[in-house]
Structure formats: C-alpha cells, structure tokens
Amino acid sequence: MSFVRPAAAIALSLALIANTPASDSTAALNQSVMGQLPINDRQDYDDAMRGKLAELDKDILNEDGSLSWPIKRFDFLAEPPADTANPSLWRQSRLSAIHGLFEVMPGIYQIRGYDLSVMTLIRGKTGWIVVDPLLTPAPAKAGLELANRTLGELPVVAVIYTHSHADHFGGVRGVTSAEALAAGKVQIIAPHGFMAETVGESVLAGTAMSRRAQYQFGAGFAAGPDGVIGVGLGPALSVGPIGLLPPTLELPVDGKIMDIDGVTFEFMDAGGTEAPSELVFYLPQYRALHSAEVATRNFHNVLTPRGALVRDALKWSRVIDAMLVRFGAKSDVILASHHWPAWGTDTVQQRLRNQRDMYRYVHDQTLRMANQGYTMDEIAEAIGEPDFAAQDFSTRGYYGTYKHNAKAVYQRYFGWWNGVPADYDALPKTEEARKWVAALGGGKAALAKAQAAHDGGDYRWAATLGQTLVFAEPDNAAARKLLAATYLQLAYQSEGGTWRNIYLAGAKELEAGERSDAPDTTSLALISSIPTADLFDALASRFNPAKMPGEEAIIQFSMPDTGEAMTVDLRKSVMFPRPGTSAGYATKLTINRTDFNLLLAQQASLPALMQAGKASIEGDPAHLAHMFGALDTPQPQFPIVTP
C-alpha cells in the first residue's frame, strides 16, 4: 500500500481549520502536563544528537520529480510547545524529527529523520550491510548517498529486513537493485515467514486498512502546531513508490548465528510480537543490540488503528525478556528501527525491563479487571499506567496508548462483545443515531446539548453527541462544524500521535467535505508482488452474490510462466479458489501470471490478450464473464465521519 499527501488537499485543510486556537480548557490541560512529567530532562536530546556527522539540506524528490520528503517540514518543533499540542507529544516529535547521518559507534551508523522508520548501516569487510531501507526508495537512496559522501563510498553487499511491514523494506530499490540481486552481488536476509506475512497482513483487507491508515498517519494534513506534529513512532511517512525485492534467505524460526561480510550476527526470532514475522539481532564484536521494532522509545500498538490481527502482549513481553536475559548484560548500546539509540549496559537493561513490563502491565491488568467483571470500556478508563511511565518517556503512549491497548488485550481474549446484552445485537450506527436524536428532542436540541458540552470542555461527550447528530443528519452544517471543532480540541490534547492524527483527519473531512486522494491498491507493482493463491483469495473477498447472474461452474486458470494453476468453484453465493487443477472444469483460461497481473491492473483487456496470442479459453467463456462481473470494485475512500 502507499500513502499520499496531495497538495490540493493540504491547501484546503489549511484554509478551513488552520489557526484554530486551543480552548482555555485545552490550554490548561496541556500546561498541566509540564508539571506531571520531566519534560525538560535533556538526556534524550543528548542521545538523539550523539554522533551526528552530517545532514541533508534539500528536499528529497522521487524519480518523477514529485516530493518525497520536505526537509524543513518539522522545523517548527524547535520552538516551545504550542497550546495546540500536548507538550509530551511535542517533545517526542521534536526528538524524532532530528535528522541526518549518525555514528552509533565506529562501524555502525544510522539515517534518521527522513521517514517514519530508521535505516541502519553496518560496515562490513567489503561493503555496507543495510538494515531496514525505509518505506520508499528516494529517502533510502538519499541517506545512503549521504553516508557514502561522508564516510567513503562502499557497495551495498547485504540488506536485512527486520520485519514484514512496508516501512522496513519498501525503499529497498533505493539501496540496491533487482539486477544486483540476480547477479549475486547482494544478499537479502529476512525473518522466518517474511514473504507470506508481508502480503498476507494487508492483501485481503488492504483497501480498508489503507483508508484507516490515512487517519492514523494524518494523510492530507499539513505539519504545524495546529496540524500533524508526528506519529509518535517517527515523524511521518515518506511519499513514493513502495517496492520489494524477495529475500535470498529467510531465517529459521529458532534464529541463526551467521557471518555477513565479516560481521557476526546473532539473530533471534521475534515473530508474533510487533509483526507476524520479525527478528532482532546482536552484534558481539560491537556489543550492540538491534531491537528492530520490538522495543523502541514508545508504547507500541497491540492493535493498530489501521487494522491488523490483534498482537499478543504476553508473548511480546516474553520476547523482550528473552532479549534481556540473552543480550542485556553484554550490550553497550541498544538501537532500533525507529527513534534514537541508548548507551550503557545498565541503561540497556533498564530500558528492556521497562519495555517488557509495560506490555505485561497492560496484559495483566486488563485480565485482572476482566475477571472482576469490568467491561472493555471500563477497563480502558481504569487502566492507568505503570509507575515507571512517569519517568521513562520510552514507555509513554505516543503510538499505542494504554487505553487503546487495554481494549486490544480484551479483544484478543474475549472478542468484540463487551458483555453487555444490549450491545450484542445493537442497531446499525445510522439507525441508532436517528433514534437517539429523536429521543433527545430533535436535531436542534441535540445540537444545543453538544454545544453546551463543547463550551464546558467536555469534549468526549460533545464528540459523542456531535457524531450521533451528524450520522442522523449528515447535511446538518452546524453539527458538522461543531463536531470538527470538538475533534480539533481532542487532537490538541492527545499525547498519542495517532490519536491526534485521527482527530485531525476527522475534523478536516467534516469541514472540507472531501477526502484525500486514495492510495492505489490496484497498482501493477502491488498486484505482481502478491502470491497467486493470496491474489485469488483477495479476488474472492470482492465477490458480490447479487451480481452473480449465471450458473455455477468450475473454472481453471493455468499460468505457464510460473507453472501454477488455480481452480475456482464458482457458486451463486461463494467464489472458492483452490490451488491446483481440476479434471472437470467447465472453462479454462490459460494466461501467464505476468499478463494476468496486467489484466487485473486494467492495463490490458482479455480480448486484446487473446488476439495477441497471450491468452486462450477452453469451454464456455461466459463463466469467466460471470466471475469477473460479480467482483465489486473496492471503494478506497469510503466515508468514516459521515454515514
């Protein structure tokens, strides 16, 4: 998937809601944070600046000349925190925005501040070992060039993907090429199950995930004191084409010790924590521990707002404990795929203990309260935070909050139902909203109550009332305006970067009446990267029974270039794909997988491919027409804050 920030949408959002001030209650709440946390502690600033060697001074552009990363985007964070931002999030964002090439220690370097993630460079005997080449090629290429100019030019001899999320592999073509891979000039190492999980997590639900990710990352919203100030996990996502080169080695599930260009790596499997497929590694000659995204400088998401399978907070804590036991006492530095390193063995061990225990805290306290009969929402309200979170900023909820993660733990064990019978078969949102507004005495009465809550600083209740009214009366301009204003105040108060972005995105769409440009979920590059069986599962998830006019049939797809075959059992209500052939097919389409990709990307038509001798049909072609005609077109920009 890709993420875009079109200039037109940015300009519109600025015109409508920029310069909206913080209310008195928001300003007071944010000011109170200054007295609750050691905001002025300088250790993190010293660590984030340590070893800085150079920085880029020009915007990073994609090959087509479009903007991938504006260098000065977050310069405003050098100023004191504005009333329109939680000072704790402001501090985290300022630290994450420090950019350039940094020496962790001689032989280990990092490129930071040019994407959501961090790229690490390890000097081998003959070249660079690149760890996590960012989300898109342009910043990865610019970062590598900066390192080569500063440290001396070396070829890239190896790439390590620490896990199966795009911001850790999508920029690989900025540091190496398919030609170098084919020629054996570079090896690519990934954790166990990488290729399956890379596409598996986002293919079936990719359209909805991409839409929700626009909210999570504040897509289409400008950076500024009253706009996006960071994501918590990093500054922002770069913009550009996401690519993937397949690994030459997926590590075994029990890890591996191996030599890569003269550097010894002790790999430990960490799958099932932050990502389904993930690794961490230790470099004994450097006494350095790379914790990937398993342990960073914030509380991560146990369930991402964009959507994914719920992660296992208990396993997550156990994996960090294994890192602590195995590597903690012999590590002089801990670095990760986000944020900045920390130095000193005692510091490494304490950070791992705190990272371990924040996941254990939210896991154990959620279950403790659930077993006392508390509902999911009650647990989230009561969860609080562990004592060490008051001093250790790396355990604060900048990306995943304690409230949000408590609900995720509850969902993992108990599912979506909170145990309240009235919520088991609740009315659809719009129907419920109309009934509530009627019960409140109509739209004017509901708006007055929402306005009173807003004016009193009770923004959570104002948001509930306002959203209910908007769903009941989507054309009610006053309700939309009030709800947008309410969401802005909630954004300004949020310590979580994703929370702030979600509220900002909701406010923008309510006021602007439009949505940011859609990410392209049908690009040829994306379709080509999906394994054939997963691709047919994705097609089946678009099957609409109401559009299926024909008779049931068995359809076989034969792909000579890959040697694959798929059988589709096409029924009135279900399209069931199965790898392999069928002796009793009614229709058979023979087509190379490369041409099938073009067909799905709408860059070629089946008649044209047949005329060119690139496709052939045996049996009744009507069955193919019925199958493809029954597929819904994904709606990447479906409404969220309106019905």
Q: For position 199, which CATH number holds?
A: 3.60.15.30
The reply to whether 390 and 446 lie within a common domain is no
The tokens for 49 are 């600046």
Residue 413, domain member (yes or no): no
Q: Which of 1-10, 217-226, 539-548, 619-628 has the lowest mean pLDDT?
A: 1-10
Q: Is the pLDDT of residue 278 over 60?
A: yes
Distances (CA, A) of 262 to 125, 153, 252, 283: 6, 18, 21, 11
Q: Which pLDDT score is estimated for 556?
A: 98
Assess whether pLDDT exceeds 90 at residue 541. Answer: yes
Q: What is the mean pLDDT of residues 424-439?
A: 97
Number of neighbouring beta carbons within 10 Å of residue 268: 24
Decide if pLDDT at 6 tops 50.
Answer: no
User: Looking at the predicted structure, is the pLDDT value of residue 577 above 60?
Assistant: yes
The verdict on residue 139 lying in a domain is yes
Lowest mean pLDDT among 2-16, 89-103, 268-282, 420-434: 2-16
The fraction of the chain above a pLDDT of 70, given in percent, is 95
Question: What integer pLDDT is reported at residue 10 of this predicted model?
Answer: 32
Q: Is 75 exposed, middle or buried (0-12, 13-18, 19+ CB in 10 A)?
A: exposed
CATH of the domain at 544: 3.30.1050.10
Answer yes or no: do 149 and 293 share one domain: yes
Residues 445 and 396 in one domain: no
Residue 401 lies in a domain: yes
- Residue 462 sits in a domain of what CATH number? 1.25.40.880
Give the per-residue pLDDT at 323. 98
**Residues 387 and 451 occupy one common structural domain:** no
pLDDT at 144: 98
Alpha-carbon Rg for the chain, nearest whole angstrom, is 26
Residues spanned by the domain of 467: 430-512
Query: Does pLDDT of 517 surpass 70?
Result: no
pLDDT tens-digit readout, 155-202 = 999 999 999 999 999 999 999 999 999 999 999 999 999 998 887 666
**Does 7 have pLDDT greater than 50?**
no
d(CA 563, CA 221): 46
Number of domains making up the chain: 3
Among 512, 538, 556, the domain boundary falls at 512
Q: Could you tell me if 440 and 360 lie in one domain?
A: no
Q: Which of the pair, 175 or 551, is modelled with greater confidence?
A: 175
Do the domain assignments include residue 420? no
Record the pTM.
0.93
Is the per-residue pLDDT at 16 higher than 90? Answer: no
Are 447 and 385 in the same domain? no
Q: Kindly indicate the confidence band of residue 3, based on its pLDDT and cuts at 50, 70 and 90.
A: very low
Are the C-beta atoms of residues 51 and 98 closer than 8 Å to each other?
Answer: no
| 615 located within any domain | yes
Which tens digit of pLDDT belongs to each residue from 21-45? 999 999 999 999 999 999 999 999 9
Calpha distance 322→327 (Å, rounded): 8
Q: Which tokens belong to 567?
A: 């059988």
The predicted structure's pLDDT at residue 522: 59
Q: Are 637 and 519 in contact (CB under 8 A)?
A: no
d(CA 313, CA 559): 42
* pLDDT tens per residue across span 198-215: 876 667 888 888 899 999
Residue 196 confidence (pLDDT):
86
Tell me how far apart the alpha carbons of residues 356 and 273 are, in angstroms, rounded to a whole number: 12
Q: State which H helix or E strand residue 528 sits in.
A: helix 524-529
If DSSP codes are grouped into helix, strand and coil, which group holds residue 435? Answer: helix
Q: Give the E-state strand segments of 89-149 in sequence order.
A: 100-105, 108-112, 119-123, 128-131
Same domain, 475 and 373: no
Closest listed residue to residue 568, CA positions, set 628, 633, 634, 632: 628
Residues 529 and 506 in one domain: no
DSSP three-state, residue 378: helix
Task: Sheet containing 342-343: give its strands across.
Answer: 256-260, 263-269, 279-283, 288-290, 333-335, 342-343
Residues 319, 197: one domain? yes
Distance of alpha carbon 318 from alpha carbon 324, whole angstroms: 10
- Same domain for 298 and 382: yes
Tell me the pLDDT band of 553, cut-offs 50, 70 and 90.
Answer: very high
pLDDT-based confidence at residue 221 (cuts at 50, 70, 90): confident
Please say if the pLDDT value at position 376 is more than 50.
yes
246 domain residue, yes or no: yes
Residue 476 placed within a domain: yes
pLDDT of 521 > 70? The answer is no
Q: What pLDDT is stored for residue 206 in this prediction? A: 83
